[in-house]
């Protein structure tokens, strides 16, 4: 299934998390941290938040080798999230 597919955005929570784990190598804890971070930034709509999550993960996967987990390192996830958020052009929140 392709990243841009709207079907992915409407998966049940557990299926969506497992898909992210298979596609990007992020475990549930990392996913939950990313999801909470975007929610706290004002993305309360689940579909828009999942779009942001997928875009964020895809951008970070560009620097990883195919099939490897995305590695953020100690404190790196928050740094990556902050950088991603600052660069977003469409800072519209719910």
How does pLDDT run across 27-47, given as a tens digit for each residue? 999 999 999 999 999 999 999
Residue 13 has a pLDDT of 94
Q: What is the 3-state secondary structure (H, E, C) of the chain?
A: CCCCCHHHHCCCHHHHHHHHHHHHCCCHHHHHHHHHHHHHCCCCCHHHHHHHHHHHHHHHHCCCCCCCCCCCCCCHHHHHHHHHHHHCCCCCCC
> Where is average pLDDT lowest: 3-7, 34-38, 75-79?
3-7
């Amino acid at each position: 299934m392709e990243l841009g597919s709207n079907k992915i955005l409407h998966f049940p929570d557990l299926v969506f998390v497992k898909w992210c784990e298979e596609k990007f190598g992020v475990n549930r804890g990392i996913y939950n941290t990313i999801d909470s971070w975007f929610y706290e930034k004002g993305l309360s709509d689940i579909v828009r938040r999942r779009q942001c999550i997928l875009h964020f993960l895809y951008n970070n996967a560009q620097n990883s080798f195919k099939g490897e987990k995305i590695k953020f390192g100690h404190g790196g996830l928050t740094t990556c999230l902050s950088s991603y958020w600052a660069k977003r052009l469409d800072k519209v929140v719910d």
